[in-house]
């Protein structure tokens, strides 16, 4: 009979992932050692290897568990059968609250994904693309002109940029907390998007006169 895992094993793994995410976010993945992760967790280095094979294993788990959690939020909101605007507001609210708890993991996902091996990157980024597509689809459904102008995805990325950057300046111990900020983000985004217009068609770059003459001569 194989030995079962000790009580608290999964809790300890989650604690390690949180500490590792903070260190990766603050120092970068290459600049963080397993020794530093072990010290932050109050573990010996051999004990740390009992939970994760190596630093790369930590990176994969941090990035994947975070994006899978975001995909789960998208699925939960979609299951409510809301109208497009309420669905979008629900997505924004859930993501603002989730980022408040997982800002280090999100920074790892956005900045350290370049260190993933191709097979891991494709799997994780594939899940990320599904999350982006869910937002873009909702935006296109709510504002068809945005979708028709092929602007649903760029608009989605602008929304994510607004949410991501909020955590560089926002202090939840001030007059507002994340619960209060979530509807503000939704109001700002939903109030501004209807004014988005398709840009004029891009003109072909103008050739220098000399090159134009040469093209005609040829």
DSSP string for 39-93: HHHT--HHHHHTT-SSHHHHHHHHHHHHHHHHHHHHHHHHTT---HHHHHHHHHH
Q: How far apart are CA 88 and CA 95, in angstroms?
A: 11
State how far the alpha carbon of 181 is from the alpha carbons of 141, 185, 195, in Å.
25, 6, 22
Q: Find tokens 């649903």 and name the residue.
A: 152
State how far the alpha carbon of 22 is from the alpha carbons of 36, 57, 95, in Å.
11, 16, 19
Confidence grade of residue 90 (pLDDT, cut at 50, 70, 90):
very high
Report whether pLDDT(7) > 70. no
Domains in the chain: ranges and CATH: 54-195 (1.10.357.10)
Q: How far apart are CA 39 and CA 100, in angstroms?
A: 25
Mean pLDDT of the region 50-69: 97
Q: Of 35-39, 106-110, 170-174, which range is least confident?
A: 170-174
- Residue 155 is predicted with a pLDDT of 96
Sign of dihedral through CA atoms 60, 66, 71, 72?
A: positive
- Residue 114 is predicted with a pLDDT of 95
Is 168 or 124 the better-scoring residue by pLDDT?
A: 124
């Amino acid at each position: 009979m194989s030995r079962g895992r000790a009580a608290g094993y999964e809790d300890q793994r989650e604690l390690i992932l949180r500490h590792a995410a903070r260190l990766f976010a603050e120092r970068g993945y290459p600049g963080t050692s397993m020794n530093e992760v072990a010290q932050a967790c109050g573990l010996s280095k051999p004990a740390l290897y009992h939970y994760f094979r190596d630093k790369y294993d930590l990176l994969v788990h941090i990035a994947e568990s975070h994006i899978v959690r975001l995909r789960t939020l998208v699925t939960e909101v979609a299951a409510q059968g809301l109208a497009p605007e309420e669905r979008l507001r629900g997505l924004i609210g859930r993501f603002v609250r989730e980022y408040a708890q997982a800002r280090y993991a999100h920074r790892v996902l956005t900045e350290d994904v370049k260190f993933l091996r191709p097979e891991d990157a494709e799997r994780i980024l594939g899940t990320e693309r599904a999350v982006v597509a869910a937002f873009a689809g909702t935006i296109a459904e709510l504002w068809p002109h945005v979708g028709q102008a092929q602007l649903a995805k760029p608009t989605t990325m602008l929304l994510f940029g607004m949410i991501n950057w909020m955590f560089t300046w926002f202090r939840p111990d001030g007059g507002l907390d994340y619960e209060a900020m979530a509807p503000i983000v939704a109001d700002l985004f939903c109030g501004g998007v209807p004014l988005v217009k398709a840009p004029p068609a891009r003109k072909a770059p103008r050739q220098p006169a000399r090159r134009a003459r040469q093209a005609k001569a040829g």
